[in-house]
Chains A and B, each alone.
Chain A
C-alpha cells in the first residue's frame, strides 16, 4: 500500500528560471524504506523537502502536480500541495517528520528536546510527557545512554547521540512518515551503523524515505530505490533489482561508480 503518491510533480525554486524537479512520479510504500539516490544536485533533497513542504519557509517556490498523502482516519488520499493555512502545515509536519543532515538539538535539555513536539501538541500532563519521552528515547535506542541525565543540555551529547535524539524527537510525535535527509553524512562509521540499525527497526511502525549519498547505505537499508538525475526520476524499483540488474544504462553507470 502506498502512504504517499507523487504524481507529475514539478518544483521550481523562487527566482529560478528552470524547474529543479521535472514530472516526478513515485510511490512511497507503507512500512517500507524508500531510498532516493543520485549525484549531487540531482534534486533528491529538493524532492524530500517537498514532502513536508518545508520549502514553504522560504517564499516564492512553485509546485506543480500532486503529492497525495494517505490519511488513515478517513481512508482517503489528500493532496498536500493544496494546503495553505498555518495549522494545516503544522498538522502535515506532525504526520510527516524530518531528520536533517546535521544533528539539530535545540538549545535545551535532553528531556525538553524530546518533549518539544509533544508540548507543541498541547500535552501538558507531566506523567504522560514522561512516558512518551521514555518511549521515544527507547525507540531511538538512546534511553540507556541518557536516562541518568535527562535534565542535562542536549548540546553535550556526541554527534551520533544528538542525531538519535533528533530521531527520538521526531518519533515522539508518532508520525506516519519519517523523512531522512542524509542523516549520517556528518557522523563517524560507528554512529552511522547505529543510525542505520535504528532506521531498519523503525520501519515496522513508520514509513521511511531516505536521501543518501552512500550507495552501500541505500543497498543495505532500503526496500525500494529511486535513482534521480538532473531533476528527473530515471528509475524506481525494488532495491535488489536496481542494484543487481537495473533497466537503465544511466542507473547502472551511477551505481557502478562510473560518474557521480
Chain B
C-alpha cells in the first residue's frame, strides 16, 4: 500500500515539472499570439520601433533593440569571463598549492551564491562611477553590465571546468611530462583537450544564465530603447524591458512583451539543450 503511494507520489513529482514547462510555453504563446499575428516573426525581430498607439490601441512593436542588447551584454560577459574562469580552473587544478585549493574553490563557489540584486547594487554604486571616471559616459551601459554579468558567470565556468580538468588521469599527464613537456605544454596539449567537452558545456550553461539575468542588468544597462552607439552606451535587454514595462503595458504592447519573453525562453531552451547534449556525450565517452 505505502509502496504504491510512494510510487504515485514520485511519478506525480516527476511529471509536474514537465507539465509546468509545457504550461509556461503555452501561456507565453497564448498571450503572445496577438503580436505574433500582427508582426510575424521576421518583422518583429528586426523591428526597432517600440511605440504604443493612441489610447493604448494598436501601435508598432519591434524586438530588435532588446534582442541585440541581450546578445551584446552576454557576448561581452563571455569575452571577459572565459579567460578569467579558465585561468582560475587551471590555477586550482595544476598550479595552486594543496592548502590554497580549498579556500579558493569555496570563495569561487560563494560568488555564485550572492543574489543578483546585490551584484546590481554593487555595480551601480561602485563599478559605474569607476567606469565613468576612467572611460567617460554615463558609467552605466553595455560595458558595466557586461563586467557584472561576467563576475556572475565566472563561478559557473570555473567550477565546472575545474571538475572536468580534475578528471584528467594522472598517468596521462605523467606521460606528457615523461616526454619532456613543460607544465604549460601539459596543460595546453593534454589537460584542456581532455576537458574540452566539460569546458564547452560550462560555457553554454553560463550563456543561458547570462541571457536571462534580469536584476543586475536592469540596474546597469540603462533600459533605454535605442541601439548602443559604443561600448559604454546605454541600451536595454529582453529581461530588462520585461521587468520595466510589464506593469504598465496593455493590449498589443503586453502581447509584444510576451512575444519577447517567448523568444528569450526559446533562446535559453536551445542553449540549455545544447549543454545537456554535450554533457551526455561527455559521459558516454568515458
Contacts and interface: CB of A to CB of B under 8 A. Distances in A.
Interface of A: 52, 54, 57, 86, 89-91, 93-94, 97-98, 100-102, 104, 106-108, 116-117, 120-121, 166, 169-170, 173
Interface in B185-200: 185, 189-190, 193-194, 196
Nearest to A117: B179
A197 to B, nearest CB: 22
A54 B182 contact: no
Which interface class (under 10, 10 to 19, 20 to 34, 35 or more) fits B? Answer: 10 to 19
A106 B193 contact: yes
Contact of A54 (B169, B174, B196): B174
Contacts of B175: 98, 100, 104, 106, 166
Given A106-B176, A120-B185, 19 more contacts: A54-B174, A57-B173, A86-B182, A93-B178, A93-B180, A94-B179, A100-B171, A100-B178, A102-B171, A104-B171, A106-B172, A107-B190, A107-B193, A116-B176, A116-B189, A117-B179, A117-B180, A166-B175, A173-B180
28 contacts: A54-B174, A54-B177, A54-B178, A57-B173, A86-B182, A90-B182, A91-B180, A93-B178, A94-B180, A97-B178, A98-B175, A98-B178, A100-B174, A100-B175, A104-B174, A106-B172, A106-B189, A106-B190, A107-B190, A107-B193, A107-B196, A116-B176, A116-B189, A120-B179, A120-B180, A121-B180, A170-B179, A173-B179
Nearest to B186: A57
Contact of B178 (A52, A101, A102, A107): A52
B181 interface: yes
A82 B196 CA distance: 38
Contacts of A90: 180-182
A120 B174 contact: no
A57 B179 contact: no
A68 to B, nearest CB: 20
B179 A116 contact: yes
A177 to B, nearest CB: 12
- 7 nearest A-B residue pairs (beta carbon): A104-B175, A98-B178, A90-B180, A117-B179, A94-B180, A107-B193, A93-B180
User: Is the contact region of chain B dominated by helix, strand, or loop, or is it mixed?
Assistant: helix
Contact of A108 (B179, B180, B193): B193
Quick one: which of B175, B176, B177, B193 has the most chain A CB within 10 A?
B175
B98 to A, nearest CB: 9
Contacts of A121: 180
A169 B194 contact: no
Nearest to A49: B174
Nearest to B190: A106
A97 B190 contact: no
A173 B175 CA distance: 14
A169 B176 CA distance: 10
Nearest to B174: A54
Contacts of A173: 179-180
Contacts of A91: 180
Contacts of A169: 179
Contacts of A102: 171
Nearest to A107: B193
A173 B179 CA distance: 8
Nearest to A95: B180
Contacts of B181: 90, 116, 120
B149 to A, nearest CB: 32
Quick one: which of B174, B190, B194 has the most chain A CB within 10 A?
B174
A253 B29 CA distance: 81
A152 B179 CA distance: 22
Contacts of B196: 107
A100 B173 CA distance: 11
Contacts of B172: 104, 106
B209 to A, nearest CB: 28
A83 B133 CA distance: 52
Contacts of A166: 175
Nearest to B178: A98
Contacts of A100: 171, 174-175, 178
A86 B182 CA distance: 8
A90 B189 CA distance: 16
A57 B177 contact: yes
A160 B190 CA distance: 21
Contact of A101 (B171, B180, B193, B194): B171
A116 B169 CA distance: 18
A121 to B, nearest CB: 7
Contacts of B178: 52, 54, 93, 97-98, 100, 170
A76 to B, nearest CB: 22
Quick one: which of A57, A94, A170 has the most chain B CB within 10 A?
A57
B283 to A, nearest CB: 16
A45 B194 CA distance: 26
A96 to B, nearest CB: 9
Nearest to A52: B178
